[in-house]
Structure 1
Amino acid sequence: MTGRSGKAAAGPRGRLLLVLALAVAVTAFTATVPLLRGFFDLRVYYGTVHTWVHHGGRIYDYRVPGTAYGFTYPPFAAVVMLPLAPLSRPTAIVASLLANLAALAVVLRLLAGDGWRRHGWYRWALCLCVLALFEPLRDTFSFGQVNLVLLALVLVDCRLLASGRGRWAGAGIGLAAAVKLTPALFIGLLLLVGRRRSAGIATAVAGAATAMAAWADPRASRFYWTEALWNTRRIGRLDYVSNQSLQGVLARLGEPDRVLWAMAVLLTLCVWARRSRGAVAAGDWTAAFALTGAAACLVSPITWVHHLVWLLPSFAVLMRAGRLRIAGVLYTVFCTSVVWLWYDDASGVDGFLGSNTYTWITLGLLLGLPTGQLRDDRPPLARSASTTAPAPSPDSPRTTAVPDQPESSSGVLDAAATTGAAAAAAVACGFARRASSEPTGSTRPAAEKPQSSSARASSYTVNPPPS
């Protein structure tokens, strides 16, 4: 009895020690090896709002001191970020971290489904350690970015549609599309599969939000929709290695032909439409949303590495379908920052293959992501390991139900531990990111003209308020 009690007590203690050790290792890695981004994008949001509210400046006049970079989102995004106005910079950083943590919790909850409690604290702790190694996710936190919040909004609609409670589905997509244009492709998904009501709600919400921003600042709205939107160079260099879109691949090849890019986008959208319709026809809304996230990353003119948090649902789908090795390998690659090995020179065959590694993975997910694994419209991790067999009757032999999936959801978070170990090993073998002098993936030489309707920067740029 004493020996059994000792083993039972050592189990939880050992798990706790393992989680603590792994958390310390992950923290040490993220604090020292990757290039931390210094909350650069949050500085853009914060400075823009303070310029607009406290200094009488224009939304698109502001530039981060010492750089030529300013606000690049639609005006409604600035309206959403107005709560930053009364905050100090340190408080704004804390608010950004809390918002992203809350968004991550929502994303994990939605992807895990109703059986999320079954996994227990140990598996969730391992999962969080693994997620901390994922480059797009850690860059999202380090930049102070908003993509994780937008992903949470979109996945809320996915859950509503998958659960049959889609009467008001579309509002989250509409809000996300009003903040940033990339999620607008999800409206296309709703139209594609005949969910006209949800598509109408999404469009109405996005339109109302955009109209509210136009009322708040007509001049900024006019400038954005007539000029800034069409000038992709204002965001940064298309050939910068952080741009993991189809446009980025062509730009690094030195191919400026927009016709070729348009053809690649059209072909990608055709594949997306075919596969997404098949997924929805099979009742697999999560796979359809995962495919749409991957397609949006490919067709967007600029997809910085931190934008690739839109691929998180794809990994959930892979694990749900029992493709744990594939998910582990691909996830490990995303933890290595391997594309930065070609930061200085992306020429040659190795440069073509290596500098676009994340693009190839995204394209592979679009082409090969398994769909139709769920028939009951439940979220991806909700299905249990076995199907309950009916009670045998005297007139029929006893039968055993066979699961219709090769892998149970209860093993997904255990697999995350293996993935994390592989990722840590790969990083330790020398694939960690090379240091860069640039503060952000988008801060390469800027557009030839300022992101403003005037040639001046705001007074805030010259005399920023104290933190």
Structure 2
Amino acid sequence: MIALGGALTALAFNVIHAEGWVDLEVYREGGAAVLQRTSIYDLSVGKYSLQFTYSPFAAMLFTPLALVDMEVAVALWVLISILALEVVIWIIVGRTAVRHRSRRATHTLLVVIAILPLYPVMTTLWNGQIGIILLLAIVVDLTHGKEKWRGIVTGIAAGIKLTPLIFIPYLLITRRFRAALMVGLGFLGTVILGFLLLPADSRDYWGGTFFDTQRVVTAPETVFFNQSIRGMLLLMPGSWPTMPLWLALCALVGTGGLLVAAWTAKKAGELAGITACAIVGLLVSPVSWPHHWVWCIPLLVLWAYRAQRVDATLEKVGVGFLWFIFLLPGYITLATLLIYPSHAGMWLTLLMGSYVLSGLSTLLVLAVHLGRSDWRQRKRGSGDD
């Protein structure tokens, strides 16, 4: 029932904004190219001339979409995405000590209602993106999967969209070497399957197409929505070489962030750790669109329950502020670019840059909080001695 209500909400949103499902259309055309034995990387879809930017393995997975009408594909995709959202939240709520089934169901419903209008979530539904489905796959794999196979689904997810590869160094730092190996094997399996079934497309993709950001950033105004460190640097005024600074910041944020994520997993649990790790991946990625930031879901829910548990007013205010960050700036930026494009400027950079600043702030706050917690424990232990 919740899934149907969410699907209707997303469909109503699409009626208001008649240009939705653009990414789902690209997925569908990629699947059709596989069936027709044509190059998936020569596609130019829709009035924006969008190109297929995922792996050949992903294109193979999208072939069922090409077998049904676009309207059917939209209905199925939205329903699956909403169900995935509900399951993710059900899992997170269960990890916050809400054990009673009816109470857990009520909490899940309330959280879904609060989360659904957030810009990363709604744009995922509106564009027909795969982000929530991958979020669910990774969360289930790394928190509920059998120890023997843990990591394999995350590796397959990386074979669809490369960003989950960030979990390999995270798992290595946390000394879960088998899980890191399974991620690598799952990913390698998708690459091998791609070369076996689509050799020409695989040579194109792994030969350099996967790193061509020009295929992703197709219009000048879309740069405002690139919510990564690189996206922020590219919008800074002046003419100066951004690549060296970006690489230096990636090394700093990547190394420090992964250490914080591992520390978080040790102190606050696996779900908090992988959420912090995913934020690191979003920050250092060359391109992170708002819909990639669906990892705000576990971030907000985990923090909200912690704020309630410790009854800290400042933390409750922080959760509310973070919720507004993921709600309003995206819609304001979109409205400005659609209605008043001449007003687009540095203020939009700062507005949408709130995602990047929130991610960096989250890692910093976690580091400070965990550091203080360790210091108090050491002080208490030395006092006992």
Query: Normalised by the shorter chain, which TM-score bucket?
Result: 0.7 to 0.9
Equivalent pairs counted in the alignment come to 348
Query: Structure 1 residues 257, 106: CA separation in 2 closer, same or farther (over 3 Å shift)?
Result: same
Helix, strand or coil: the match of 2:40? Answer: coil
Partner of 1:418: none
Q: Deviation at 1:30?
A: 6.5
What is residue 168 of structure 2 aligned with on the other side? Answer: 187
Aligned equivalent of 2:111: 127
> Normalising to structure 1: TM-score of the pair?
0.68
Matches for 1:199-348 after TM superposition, within 5 Å: 199-236=180-217, 237=220, 240-254=223-237, 255-282=240-267, 284-322=269-307, 323-336=315-328, 337-340=331-334, 343=337, 344=341
Residue of structure 2 in register with 1:41 after alignment: 23
Letter in 2 for 1:243: N
Alignment-derived partner of residue 34 in structure 2: 52
- For the structure 1 residues 240 and 359, does the alpha-carbon distance in structure 2 shift closer, same or farther, using more than 3 Å as the test? same
Instruction: Specify whether residues 342 and 260 from structure 1 end up closer, same or farther in structure 2 by C-alpha distance, changes over 3 A only.
Output: farther
Gap change, CA 1:195 and 1:95, over 3 Å in 2:
same
- 8 Å contact from structure 1 (residues 284, 372) kept in 2: no
| Distance in 1 of aligned mates of 2:349 and 2:342 | 10
- 1:242 counterpart letter in structure 2: F
Cα distance, 1:82–1:35 mapped onto 2, change above 3 Å? same
Cα RMSD (Å) of the superposition?
A: 2.9
On the 8 A contact 1:100/1:148 being kept in 2, the answer is: yes
Q: Which structure has the larger Rg over C-alpha atoms?
A: 1
Is contact 1:109-1:116 (8 Å) kept?
no
* Cα contact 1:46–1:85 (8 A) shared by 2: yes
- Give the counterpart letter for 2:226 in structure 1: N
Map 1:16-95 to 2 at 5 A.
27=9, 31=13, 35=17, 37-54=19-36, 56-95=37-76
In 1, the alpha carbon distance for the partners of 2:322 and 2:202 equals 40
Give, in angstroms, the shift of residue 128 of structure 1. 2.1
Cα offsets for 1:355-378 (capped at 9, x unmatched): 4122211221222248999xxxxx
Counterpart CA distance in 1 for 2:137 and 2:69 is 27
The amino acid of 1:154's aligned partner reads: I
| Residues 301-335 of structure 1: CA deviation (Å, up to 9, x unaligned) | 11111111022221122123213321122112211
* SS of structure 2 residue aligned to 1:303: coil
Give the deviation of 1:183 after TM superposition: 0.9
The alpha-carbon distance between structure 1 residues 226 and 342, as it changes in their structure 2 partners (threshold 3 A), is: same
User: 2-side partners of 1:154 and 1:198: how far apart?
Assistant: 12
Q: How does 1:84-163 map to 2 (within 5 A)?
A: 84-113=65-94, 115=99, 117-119=101-103, 122-160=106-144
In the TM superposition, residue 181 of structure 1 has moved relative to its aligned partner by 0.4
- Kindly report which structure 2 residues correspond to 1:447-466, keeping only aligned pairs within 5 A, or say none: none
Aligned equivalents of 1:278, 1:77: Cα separation in 2: 33
The 1:31–1:348 alpha-carbon spacing in structure 2 relative to 1, beyond 3 Å, is: closer
Q: Which amino acid aligns with 1:312?
A: I
Q: In the alignment, does 2:340 pair up with 1:357?
A: no
Aligned to 2:178: 197
For the residue of structure 1 that corresponds to 2:20, the secondary structure is coil
- One-letter amino acid matched to 2:321: V
Does the 8 Å CA contact 1:279/1:371 hold for their aligned counterparts? no
Comparing 202-211 with 345-354, greater Cα deviation is found at 345-354
Distance (Å, rounded) in 2 between the aligned partners of 1:48 and 1:292: 30
1:202 to partner: Cα distance? 1.1
Which whole-Å CA distance do the structure 1 matches of 2:23 and 2:222 have between them?
20
CA distance in 2, matches of 1:212, 1:349: 45
2: CA distance between counterparts of 1:342 and 1:118? 43
Q: Secondary structure of 2:67's match?
A: coil
The one-letter amino acid paired with 2:172 is L
Give the alignment's TM-score, normalised by structure 2. 0.82
The answer on 1:170 being equivalent to 2:154 is no
SS in structure 2 at match of 1:244 = coil
SS in 1 for 2:116: helix
Q: Secondary structure at the match of 2:42?
A: coil
Task: Tell me the alpha carbon deviations over residues 331-358 of structure 1, each in whole angstroms, 9 at most, x when there is no partner.
Answer: 1221113444664468876444224122
The answer to whether the Cα contact below 8 Å between 2:232 and 2:353 also exists between their aligned partners in 1 is: yes
RCO comparison, higher one (Cα < 8 Å, 6+): 1
Residue 181 to residue 345, structure 1, CA distance change in 2 (3 Å): farther
* 4+ runs deviating over 6 angstroms: 345-349, 370-373
- The 1:98/1:276 distance shift into structure 2, 3 A limit, reads same
How far residue 291 of structure 1 moved from its aligned partner, in angstroms, is 0.6
Amino acid at match of 1:208: G
Cα distance between partner residues in 2 of 1:354 and 1:111: 29
Aligned partners of 2:155 and 2:184 also within 8 Å = yes
Percent identity between matched residues is: 27
SS of the equivalent of 2:326 reads helix
Q: Distance in 2 between matches of 1:28 and 1:49?
A: 24
Q: Is contact 1:289–1:313 with CA below 8 Å preserved after alignment?
A: no
Which one has a larger percent helix, Structure 1 or Structure 2?
Answer: 2
